[in-house]
Each structure stands twice: as structure tokens, then as C-alpha cells.
Amino acid sequence: MTDDDKRRDDRLPVLWHGTLIDEAELSYPCEIRDVSHAGTLVTCEEEFPMGTELMLHIEDLGEFAGVVKWQGSQQLGLMILAGPDLVLKKFAEGSGANISKRPVELGDDPLKSG
């Protein structure tokens, strides 16, 4: 398995609605399209330069501090730096093979498997 295959396998498709908040506290609606252990793919009409620090607010989960690692064509890769649990992927795993349309809490410990 190549590194690209591993990267794709580590991502779970979701369709969550969120808000990106910049340093000036301006808000931009966005959609979270996939999540992994390290970050998330976000679509947003606003463009943000590489290295921009943003807050990602996801209803029912809270706020996650992140930094733009790549961007293009209304999509950006956001590396998650801090948040309620740092592992958004665990909230997507509850949906199984279906695209998650909202975060699913797996109990008190989102890192607990099973």
C-alpha cells in the first residue's frame, strides 16, 4: 500500500456544516467534507492563504483551532491544532460506510474503540 493509499484510507467522508472564524473574528460558512486524525477537508467560498490560522466551529462538537495547509478551488486542507478532543475522525466513524451528515458521539470517550 502506497502512502497515498494510506492517506485516503485514513479519511472518512462527512457532510457537516460549520463556520470558519478568522483572526478578525469574521465568520464564513463552510462544509466539512472529510476528516482524518490530523485534519479536515473544508469547502468555503472564501479563500485563505496558506498558514492562515482559523477556528472551525462545528455544531454539537465545539471549536477547533487549525491552520491552512493547502488550498485551491474553494477547498482547503485544515490541520487541526487544538479542540475538544483533537480527533474529529472518531466522531465520523459512528456512521459506518455512509457519509456522516452530523457528528456522532461514541460515548464519553471519543477515542474508545468498539
| Domain ranges, residue 73 | 3-83
Q: pLDDT for 31-67, tens place per residue?
A: 999 888 888 999 999 989 999 999 999 887 888 899 9
pTM for this prediction: 0.72
Distance (Å, whole) CA 72 – CA 1: 27
At 31 the pLDDT is 94
- Find the CATH number of the domain harbouring 32: 2.40.10.220
Domain count, the chain: 1
Burial class (CB in 10 A: 0-12, 13-18, 19+), 6: exposed
Mean pLDDT over each residue of the chain, to the nearest integer? 77
Q: What is the mean pLDDT of residues 70-97?
A: 74
The C-alpha cell of 99 is what?
A: 457519509
